[in-house]
Amino acid sequence: MGELSVNHLLGIKYITKEDVDLIFETADHFKEVINRPIKKVPSLRDITIANLFFENSTRTRLSFELAEKRLSADVVNFSAASSSVKKGETLIDTVNNILSMKVDMVVMRHPNPGAGVFLSQHVNASIVNAGDGAHEHPTQALLDSYSIRERLGEVAGKNVVIVGDILHSRVALSNIFALKLQGANVKVCGPQTLIPKHIEKLGVEVETNLRRALEWCDVANMLRVQNERMDISYFPSTREYVQQFGLNKALLDSLDKEITIMHPGPINRGVEITSDVADSDHAIILDQVQNGVAVRMAVIYLLASKIKQ
């Protein structure tokens, strides 16, 4: 079996197409494992992983923890709310203290963009970025592409539109990198104020009309408006946002083709997507969650095999 070109997963920006292929092949194997009656393999019995969450999370945190446990790793969990970070400790000190307890790998979610890159340069452990502010969320993008590949056969050549708050979304940026790396065509769609200037330089097109974007795409990835990252108002009202960028059943039914609907969660039902769409056969939202465990098992397994060498 091949090996990853990197020792950390800090962002999709830092990995290659070969890395993505290797992660997906490995995830195929682990997906088969987690559908067995005994959903566990002993592969990482000698590895200890710390999950450091300095920002809220439900899915990602549970998904990483399940992935680690299904590989038989020892797992310790840390959340900023109940830690000495509140007493003024620096990130490097916090992590070095944890590492001195013989931890091999750190999975970290942090509000500051670049926190994972910074840590990887200062501590002696393999770092997995579980979301760094509005920057990258590489495992989400990997599980998203893996789910497209599962539903549509391949990612190359597919038309994918990412809809919503592109400006504040680490899911959007990591997805753009991952989809382009695999040869998909990518558009972003949302209010002009929530689309970063010069985003075309990443090889994507901007479409501000949702209907036109849907008519073009095979896959629509609907993102949440990240109100917690906004200190000013980017659109007049939620009602207006819903009218222009919300995906509902009537709009979907009015297209003369089938499209695959994705969402990274958490969903704001009735805002970016209505319940009847989120719960329809077009949506692969829960497949994404299920695939997340297999993809994270693959990432952790492949990074751990580099530590063991």
Binding site for ligand NCD (CB under 6 A): 59-60, 131, 137, 140, 170-171, 224, 226, 264-265
Specify the residue, 89 or 279, whose C-beta has the smaller distance to ligand NCD.
279
Choose the catalytic residue: 8, 26, 48, 60: 60
Least distance to ligand NCD, CB of residue 48, Å? 24
Question: Is 212 tagged catalytic?
Answer: no
Choose the catalytic residue: 137, 168, 263, 296: 137
Specify the residue, 47 or 130, whose C-beta has the smaller distance to ligand NCD.
130
Question: Is 239 tagged catalytic?
Answer: no
Choose the catalytic residue: 13, 29, 59, 229: 59
Choose the catalytic residue: 36, 86, 87, 198: 87
Least distance to ligand NCD, CB of residue 266, Å? 6
In the chain, beta strands by DSSP E: 48-53, 74-79, 105-110, 126-132, 159-163, 185-189, 205-207, 219-222, 260-262
Place of tokens 């750190």: 106
Query: What is the spatial distance between Cα 201 and Cα 192, in angstroms, rounded to a whole number?
Result: 16
Query: Considering only CA atoms, which of 36, 35, 7 is closest in space to residue 19?
Result: 7
Query: What is the spatial distance between Cα 174 and Cα 155, in angstroms, rounded to a whole number?
Result: 15
Question: Is 168 tagged catalytic?
Answer: no
Specify the residue, 57 or 96, whose C-beta has the smaller distance to ligand NCD.
57
> Which residues share a beta bridge with 129?
108
Place of tokens 């990197």: 6
Question: Is 109 tagged catalytic?
Answer: yes
Helix pair 170-181, 138-152: axis angle to 10 deg? 50
Dmax (CA) of the chain: 59
Least distance to ligand NCD, CB of residue 263, Å? 9
Residue 295: in which H helix or E strand, if any? helix 285-307
Query: What is the spatial distance between Cα 15 and Cα 126, in angstroms, rounded to a whole number?
Result: 15
Least distance to ligand NCD, CB of residue 183, Å? 25
Place of tokens 């038989």: 72
Question: Is 229 tagged catalytic?
Answer: no
Sheet order of strands, 205-207 included: 205-207, 185-189, 159-163, 219-222, 260-262
Answer whether 148's CB lies under 8 Å from 181's CB.
no
Least distance to ligand NCD, CB of residue 293, Å? 13
Whether the upstream peptide bond of residue 266 has omega within 30° of 0, thus cis, is yes
Specify the residue, 56 or 305, whose C-beta has the smaller distance to ligand NCD.
56
Tell me which DSSP letter residue 3 carries: -
Choose the catalytic residue: 109, 158, 168, 296: 109
Specify the residue, 47 or 110, whose C-beta has the smaller distance to ligand NCD.
110
Query: Considering only CA atoms, which of 24, 97, 98, 10 is closest in space to residue 301?
Result: 24
Residue nearest to ligand NCD (CB): 224
Specify the residue, 47 or 54, whose C-beta has the smaller distance to ligand NCD.
54
Least distance to ligand NCD, CB of residue 164, Å? 9
The catalytic residue positions are 59-60, 87, 109, 137
